[in-house]
Amino acid sequence: MNLVNSPIHLRTKISLLSLNPKPKTINKDTHKSRMNYNMIPKRVNSDAPNKLSTTTEFLLPDDSVEPAKTKPCLCGRRHFIEAAATATLTSFPIQPATATNSDSDYTALVNKYRPPKPDWYQKFYAWVLSSFTKSYEAEVARYKSQIFSNLKEKKANKILELGIGTGPNLSYYASDSDVHVVGIDPNPEMEKYARSAATSAGLPLSNFEFLHAVGEVIPLSDASVDAVVGTLVLCSVKDVDMTLKEVRRVLKPGGVYVFVEHVAAKDGTFLRFLQRVLDPLQQTVADGCHLSRETGENISKAGFSSVELDIAFLSNATFVNPHVYGIAYQ
Protein backbone atom coordinates (compact mmCIF):
# COMPACT_ATOMS: atom_id res chain seq x y z
CA MET A 1 0.00 0.00 0.00
CA ASN A 2 1.38 3.36 -0.96
CA LEU A 3 0.83 6.94 -0.01
CA VAL A 4 -1.00 8.43 -2.98
CA ASN A 5 0.83 11.71 -3.32
CA SER A 6 3.97 10.99 -1.33
CA PRO A 7 4.91 12.22 1.10
CA ILE A 8 2.26 14.92 1.35
CA HIS A 9 -1.27 13.81 2.13
CA LEU A 10 -4.10 14.83 -0.13
CA ARG A 11 -6.56 17.60 0.64
CA THR A 12 -8.72 17.46 -2.43
CA LYS A 13 -12.26 17.05 -3.62
CA ILE A 14 -13.18 14.21 -5.92
CA SER A 15 -15.34 14.38 -9.01
CA LEU A 16 -16.65 11.25 -10.68
CA LEU A 17 -16.92 10.16 -14.27
CA SER A 18 -18.54 6.84 -15.07
CA LEU A 19 -17.16 4.35 -17.54
CA ASN A 20 -18.95 1.33 -18.95
CA PRO A 21 -16.29 -1.21 -19.88
CA LYS A 22 -17.39 -4.28 -21.75
CA PRO A 23 -17.54 -7.47 -19.72
CA LYS A 24 -14.51 -9.65 -20.08
CA THR A 25 -14.88 -13.36 -20.78
CA ILE A 26 -13.16 -15.51 -18.22
CA ASN A 27 -10.79 -18.14 -19.55
CA LYS A 28 -11.90 -21.67 -18.87
CA ASP A 29 -8.38 -22.91 -18.31
CA THR A 30 -7.97 -21.17 -14.98
CA HIS A 31 -5.77 -22.67 -12.30
CA LYS A 32 -7.08 -25.93 -10.88
CA SER A 33 -6.76 -26.45 -7.19
CA ARG A 34 -3.52 -28.21 -6.35
CA MET A 35 -4.98 -29.41 -3.07
CA ASN A 36 -8.42 -30.46 -1.92
CA TYR A 37 -8.21 -28.55 1.30
CA ASN A 38 -7.56 -24.95 2.32
CA MET A 39 -4.15 -24.49 3.83
CA ILE A 40 -4.09 -21.16 5.60
CA PRO A 41 -1.42 -20.28 8.11
CA LYS A 42 -3.01 -19.33 11.40
CA ARG A 43 -1.13 -17.93 14.35
CA VAL A 44 -1.63 -19.94 17.55
CA ASN A 45 -2.15 -18.30 20.94
CA SER A 46 -0.23 -15.16 20.09
CA ASP A 47 0.46 -13.27 23.31
CA ALA A 48 1.57 -10.13 21.50
CA PRO A 49 -0.83 -9.00 18.77
CA ASN A 50 1.67 -6.49 17.43
CA LYS A 51 4.41 -9.07 16.91
CA LEU A 52 4.72 -11.82 14.37
CA SER A 53 4.61 -15.35 15.69
CA THR A 54 6.29 -18.27 14.00
CA THR A 55 3.98 -20.87 15.53
CA THR A 56 1.22 -21.71 13.09
CA GLU A 57 -1.41 -24.28 12.40
CA PHE A 58 -3.37 -25.19 9.30
CA LEU A 59 -7.10 -25.21 8.91
CA LEU A 60 -8.09 -28.52 7.35
CA PRO A 61 -11.85 -28.82 6.84
CA ASP A 62 -11.48 -32.52 6.02
CA ASP A 63 -8.36 -34.35 7.13
CA SER A 64 -9.38 -37.40 5.14
CA VAL A 65 -8.98 -35.64 1.81
CA GLU A 66 -5.77 -36.32 -0.06
CA PRO A 67 -4.07 -33.92 -2.45
CA ALA A 68 -5.28 -34.27 -6.03
CA LYS A 69 -2.81 -35.53 -8.63
CA THR A 70 -1.89 -32.82 -11.08
CA LYS A 71 0.66 -32.10 -13.76
CA PRO A 72 4.06 -30.86 -12.61
CA CYS A 73 4.27 -27.13 -11.96
CA LEU A 74 7.40 -25.03 -11.96
CA CYS A 75 5.83 -22.24 -9.93
CA GLY A 76 7.89 -21.71 -6.80
CA ARG A 77 4.88 -20.79 -4.70
CA ARG A 78 2.90 -23.88 -5.67
CA HIS A 79 5.91 -26.12 -5.20
CA PHE A 80 6.49 -24.76 -1.73
CA ILE A 81 2.84 -25.07 -0.66
CA GLU A 82 2.61 -28.65 -1.90
CA ALA A 83 5.87 -29.58 -0.20
CA ALA A 84 4.64 -28.10 3.04
CA ALA A 85 1.35 -29.96 2.72
CA THR A 86 3.06 -33.32 2.36
CA ALA A 87 5.43 -32.63 5.24
CA THR A 88 4.51 -31.98 8.83
CA LEU A 89 1.77 -29.35 8.34
CA THR A 90 3.01 -27.63 11.47
CA SER A 91 4.66 -24.47 10.16
CA PHE A 92 4.67 -21.95 7.34
CA PRO A 93 7.36 -19.40 6.43
CA ILE A 94 5.39 -16.24 7.15
CA GLN A 95 7.52 -13.88 9.18
CA PRO A 96 9.78 -10.81 8.87
CA ALA A 97 12.29 -10.87 6.03
CA THR A 98 15.07 -10.55 8.60
CA ALA A 99 14.32 -13.97 10.08
CA THR A 100 16.97 -16.65 9.61
CA ASN A 101 15.61 -20.15 10.11
CA SER A 102 14.04 -23.04 8.19
CA ASP A 103 11.37 -20.73 6.84
CA SER A 104 13.84 -19.18 4.40
CA ASP A 105 12.25 -20.78 1.31
CA TYR A 106 9.17 -18.62 1.35
CA THR A 107 11.14 -15.63 2.60
CA ALA A 108 13.31 -15.96 -0.51
CA LEU A 109 10.19 -15.88 -2.68
CA VAL A 110 8.93 -12.77 -0.92
CA ASN A 111 12.30 -11.04 -1.23
CA LYS A 112 12.47 -11.88 -4.92
CA TYR A 113 9.47 -9.68 -5.58
CA ARG A 114 9.92 -7.25 -2.71
CA PRO A 115 13.51 -6.78 -1.55
CA PRO A 116 13.52 -5.96 2.17
CA LYS A 117 13.86 -2.31 3.16
CA PRO A 118 15.78 -1.02 6.20
CA ASP A 119 13.87 -1.35 9.44
CA TRP A 120 13.85 2.41 9.99
CA TYR A 121 12.25 2.96 6.57
CA GLN A 122 9.54 0.36 7.13
CA LYS A 123 8.69 1.83 10.53
CA PHE A 124 8.72 5.37 9.17
CA TYR A 125 6.53 4.54 6.18
CA ALA A 126 3.99 2.70 8.32
CA TRP A 127 3.83 5.74 10.59
CA VAL A 128 3.39 8.07 7.61
CA LEU A 129 0.47 6.04 6.25
CA SER A 130 -1.11 5.94 9.69
CA SER A 131 -0.69 9.66 10.30
CA PHE A 132 -1.13 11.42 6.97
CA THR A 133 -3.84 9.66 4.98
CA LYS A 134 -6.90 10.50 7.06
CA SER A 135 -7.95 13.39 4.82
CA TYR A 136 -7.63 11.22 1.75
CA GLU A 137 -9.66 8.42 3.32
CA ALA A 138 -12.39 10.89 4.28
CA GLU A 139 -12.60 12.13 0.71
CA VAL A 140 -12.80 8.74 -0.96
CA ALA A 141 -15.18 7.27 1.63
CA ARG A 142 -18.28 7.74 -0.56
CA TYR A 143 -16.71 5.78 -3.41
CA LYS A 144 -15.30 3.04 -1.22
CA SER A 145 -18.72 2.68 0.41
CA GLN A 146 -20.24 1.97 -3.00
CA ILE A 147 -17.90 -0.86 -3.90
CA PHE A 148 -17.46 -2.37 -0.44
CA SER A 149 -21.21 -2.67 0.03
CA ASN A 150 -20.99 -5.47 -2.53
CA LEU A 151 -19.13 -7.64 -0.03
CA LYS A 152 -22.06 -7.61 2.37
CA GLU A 153 -24.52 -8.24 -0.46
CA LYS A 154 -22.44 -11.22 -1.55
CA LYS A 155 -22.12 -12.35 2.08
CA ALA A 156 -18.37 -12.60 1.66
CA ASN A 157 -17.20 -14.09 4.95
CA LYS A 158 -13.64 -14.98 4.05
CA ILE A 159 -11.72 -11.99 2.70
CA LEU A 160 -8.13 -11.50 1.64
CA GLU A 161 -6.78 -7.95 1.53
CA LEU A 162 -3.67 -7.25 -0.54
CA GLY A 163 -1.36 -4.60 0.84
CA ILE A 164 -3.55 -4.13 3.87
CA GLY A 165 -1.19 -1.49 5.23
CA THR A 166 -2.63 0.26 8.27
CA GLY A 167 -6.07 -1.25 7.64
CA PRO A 168 -8.19 1.75 6.53
CA ASN A 169 -10.56 -0.50 4.57
CA LEU A 170 -11.49 -2.77 7.47
CA SER A 171 -14.19 -0.38 8.70
CA TYR A 172 -16.11 -0.95 5.46
CA TYR A 173 -16.39 -4.72 5.55
CA ALA A 174 -15.09 -6.20 8.81
CA SER A 175 -17.77 -5.30 11.35
CA ASP A 176 -19.59 -8.63 11.05
CA SER A 177 -18.47 -11.29 13.51
CA ASP A 178 -18.82 -13.92 10.75
CA VAL A 179 -16.14 -12.24 8.64
CA HIS A 180 -12.61 -13.64 8.65
CA VAL A 181 -9.84 -11.49 7.18
CA VAL A 182 -6.36 -12.41 6.02
CA GLY A 183 -4.32 -9.28 5.36
CA ILE A 184 -0.98 -9.49 3.60
CA ASP A 185 1.67 -6.80 3.33
CA PRO A 186 5.39 -6.77 2.50
CA ASN A 187 6.00 -4.36 5.38
CA PRO A 188 5.71 -6.22 8.72
CA GLU A 189 5.61 -2.90 10.58
CA MET A 190 2.05 -2.44 9.30
CA GLU A 191 0.73 -5.24 11.51
CA LYS A 192 0.23 -3.30 14.73
CA TYR A 193 -1.69 -0.58 12.87
CA ALA A 194 -3.79 -3.12 10.98
CA ARG A 195 -4.67 -4.99 14.18
CA SER A 196 -5.68 -1.73 15.82
CA ALA A 197 -7.87 -0.92 12.81
CA ALA A 198 -9.46 -4.37 13.02
CA THR A 199 -10.33 -3.80 16.66
CA SER A 200 -11.77 -0.37 15.87
CA ALA A 201 -13.87 -1.89 13.10
CA GLY A 202 -15.35 -4.42 15.53
CA LEU A 203 -13.56 -7.43 14.06
CA PRO A 204 -12.50 -9.98 16.70
CA LEU A 205 -8.75 -10.41 16.55
CA SER A 206 -9.34 -14.15 16.43
CA ASN A 207 -10.89 -13.49 13.00
CA PHE A 208 -7.94 -11.48 11.73
CA GLU A 209 -4.60 -12.71 10.44
CA PHE A 210 -1.70 -10.57 9.22
CA LEU A 211 0.84 -12.25 6.97
CA HIS A 212 4.17 -10.92 5.73
CA ALA A 213 3.73 -11.69 2.05
CA VAL A 214 3.42 -10.20 -1.43
CA GLY A 215 0.73 -10.25 -4.10
CA GLU A 216 2.84 -12.18 -6.62
CA VAL A 217 3.10 -15.21 -4.31
CA ILE A 218 0.00 -15.27 -2.12
CA PRO A 219 0.41 -18.05 0.50
CA LEU A 220 -3.18 -19.32 0.26
CA SER A 221 -4.59 -22.29 -1.60
CA ASP A 222 -6.69 -22.14 -4.75
CA ALA A 223 -10.33 -21.00 -4.48
CA SER A 224 -9.96 -20.30 -0.76
CA VAL A 225 -11.52 -16.83 -0.32
CA ASP A 226 -14.87 -15.21 -1.10
CA ALA A 227 -13.38 -11.82 -1.92
CA VAL A 228 -10.10 -10.05 -2.48
CA VAL A 229 -9.64 -6.39 -1.56
CA GLY A 230 -6.87 -4.21 -2.96
CA THR A 231 -6.61 -0.43 -2.71
CA LEU A 232 -3.55 1.54 -3.86
CA VAL A 233 -1.45 -1.62 -4.04
CA LEU A 234 -1.00 -2.53 -7.73
CA CYS A 235 1.00 0.65 -8.21
CA SER A 236 3.79 -0.83 -6.12
CA VAL A 237 3.87 -4.57 -6.85
CA LYS A 238 6.70 -5.77 -9.07
CA ASP A 239 4.44 -7.71 -11.47
CA VAL A 240 0.86 -6.45 -11.88
CA ASP A 241 -0.33 -9.26 -14.16
CA MET A 242 1.12 -11.97 -11.94
CA THR A 243 -0.58 -10.44 -8.92
CA LEU A 244 -3.93 -10.41 -10.73
CA LYS A 245 -3.45 -14.06 -11.69
CA GLU A 246 -2.91 -14.81 -8.01
CA VAL A 247 -6.07 -12.87 -7.17
CA ARG A 248 -8.07 -15.02 -9.58
CA ARG A 249 -6.40 -18.18 -8.31
CA VAL A 250 -7.38 -17.69 -4.67
CA LEU A 251 -10.92 -16.48 -5.43
CA LYS A 252 -13.74 -18.98 -5.17
CA PRO A 253 -16.12 -19.32 -8.13
CA GLY A 254 -18.48 -16.36 -7.94
CA GLY A 255 -16.02 -14.40 -5.82
CA VAL A 256 -15.27 -10.70 -6.27
CA TYR A 257 -12.21 -8.48 -6.41
CA VAL A 258 -12.79 -4.98 -5.04
CA PHE A 259 -10.20 -2.39 -6.03
CA VAL A 260 -9.16 1.28 -5.97
CA GLU A 261 -5.97 2.21 -7.85
CA HIS A 262 -4.37 5.35 -9.23
CA VAL A 263 -3.35 5.11 -12.88
CA ALA A 264 -1.51 6.99 -15.60
CA ALA A 265 -3.05 10.07 -17.15
CA LYS A 266 -4.18 10.09 -20.78
CA ASP A 267 -1.35 9.54 -23.20
CA GLY A 268 -0.16 12.69 -24.94
CA THR A 269 -1.10 15.05 -22.12
CA PHE A 270 1.31 17.19 -20.14
CA LEU A 271 0.24 15.34 -16.98
CA ARG A 272 1.32 12.04 -18.52
CA PHE A 273 4.68 13.59 -19.45
CA LEU A 274 5.06 14.88 -15.89
CA GLN A 275 4.27 11.45 -14.46
CA ARG A 276 6.98 9.85 -16.57
CA VAL A 277 9.52 12.41 -15.41
CA LEU A 278 8.61 12.04 -11.73
CA ASP A 279 8.12 8.27 -11.76
CA PRO A 280 11.66 7.35 -10.58
CA LEU A 281 11.47 9.81 -7.70
CA GLN A 282 8.00 8.58 -6.75
CA GLN A 283 9.23 5.00 -6.60
CA THR A 284 12.03 6.03 -4.24
CA VAL A 285 10.05 8.13 -1.79
CA ALA A 286 6.75 6.20 -1.95
CA ASP A 287 7.85 2.62 -1.38
CA GLY A 288 7.95 1.52 -5.02
CA CYS A 289 4.86 3.38 -6.23
CA HIS A 290 4.66 3.81 -10.03
CA LEU A 291 2.86 6.78 -11.58
CA SER A 292 2.57 5.61 -15.18
CA ARG A 293 0.88 2.22 -14.92
CA GLU A 294 -2.25 1.38 -16.94
CA THR A 295 -3.67 -0.63 -14.05
CA GLY A 296 -7.28 -0.30 -15.20
CA GLU A 297 -6.41 -2.05 -18.45
CA ASN A 298 -4.53 -4.76 -16.58
CA ILE A 299 -7.60 -5.51 -14.47
CA SER A 300 -9.95 -5.44 -17.46
CA LYS A 301 -7.74 -7.90 -19.36
CA ALA A 302 -6.99 -10.22 -16.43
CA GLY A 303 -9.66 -12.76 -17.38
CA PHE A 304 -12.45 -11.93 -14.93
CA SER A 305 -15.95 -12.80 -16.15
CA SER A 306 -16.88 -9.11 -15.95
CA VAL A 307 -15.44 -5.87 -14.61
CA GLU A 308 -17.30 -2.79 -13.38
CA LEU A 309 -14.80 0.06 -13.50
CA ASP A 310 -15.27 3.77 -12.83
CA ILE A 311 -12.83 6.65 -12.79
CA ALA A 312 -12.36 9.42 -10.24
CA PHE A 313 -10.26 12.56 -10.61
CA LEU A 314 -8.62 14.29 -7.66
CA SER A 315 -9.04 17.95 -8.46
CA ASN A 316 -5.90 19.14 -6.66
CA ALA A 317 -3.79 15.99 -6.58
CA THR A 318 -1.25 17.32 -9.09
CA PHE A 319 0.42 14.39 -10.85
CA VAL A 320 -1.44 11.51 -9.13
CA ASN A 321 -4.46 11.36 -11.45
CA PRO A 322 -6.79 9.67 -12.17
CA HIS A 323 -8.05 6.84 -9.94
CA VAL A 324 -9.95 3.76 -11.09
CA TYR A 325 -12.22 1.86 -8.75
CA GLY A 326 -14.74 -0.92 -9.08
CA ILE A 327 -15.50 -4.63 -8.83
CA ALA A 328 -14.24 -7.57 -10.87
CA TYR A 329 -16.25 -10.80 -10.84
CA GLN A 330 -14.65 -14.26 -10.91
The predicted-structure confidence for 151-202, as pLDDT tens digits, reads as follows 988 889 999 999 999 999 999 999 888 999 999 999 999 999 999 999 999 9
- Is the per-residue pLDDT at 103 higher than 60? yes
Residues 62 and 176 in one domain: no
Q: Which residues pair with 159 in a beta bridge?
A: 181, 227
- Is the per-residue pLDDT at 317 higher than 80? no
Instruction: Report the chain's mean pLDDT, rounded to a whole number.
Output: 75
Residues 325 and 185 in one domain: yes
> What mean pLDDT do residues 22-34 have?
41
Which carries the bigger pLDDT value, residue 93 or residue 152? 152
- Residue 146 within any structural domain of the chain: yes
Least confident of 4-13, 150-159, 279-288: 4-13
Separation CA 77–CA 94 (nearest Å):
13
Q: Are 228 and 254 in contact (CB under 8 A)?
A: no
Residues 272 and 140 in one domain: yes
Beta strands 251-262 and 323-329 are antiparallel
- Residue 1 within any structural domain of the chain: no
Residues 178 and 212 in one domain: yes
Q: Are 186 and 110 in contact (CB under 8 A)?
A: yes
Q: pLDDT digits over 33-54, tens only? A: 333 323 334 343 333 343 333 3
Separation CA 125–CA 73 (nearest Å):
37
The residue from 62, 82, 113 where one domain ends is 113
Residues 49 and 141 in one domain: no
Residues 128 and 54 in one domain: no
Residues 46 and 135 in one domain: no
pLDDT of the residue at 63: 39
CA dihedral sign of residues 29, 30, 34, 35: negative
pLDDT of the residue at 208: 97
- Residue 317 within any structural domain of the chain: yes
pLDDT of the residue at 58: 32
Total domain count, the chain:
2
Least Cα distance to 1 among 122, 109, 97 occurs for 122
For the entire predicted model, the pTM comes to 0.70
- Is the per-residue pLDDT at 246 higher than 90? yes
pLDDT of the residue at 139: 85
> What mean pLDDT do residues 138-150 have?
90
CA dihedral sign of residues 250, 111, 199, 166: negative
- Is the per-residue pLDDT at 228 higher than 90? yes
Beta strands in the chain (DSSP E): 14-17, 41-43, 56-58, 158-162, 180-185, 208-212, 225-231, 251-262, 306-314, 323-329
Beta strands 225-231 and 251-262 are parallel
pLDDT of the residue at 325: 95
What is the CB-side half-sphere exposure of residue 263 using CA atoms within 13 A? 21
Residues 92 and 217 in one domain: no
Q: Residue 86's domain spans which residues?
A: 41-113
Residues 130 and 93 in one domain: no
- Is the per-residue pLDDT at 214 higher than 70? yes
Q: Distance from first CA to last CA of the chain, Å, rounded?
A: 23
CATH number at residue 195: 3.40.50.150
> What mean pLDDT do residues 272-296 have?
87
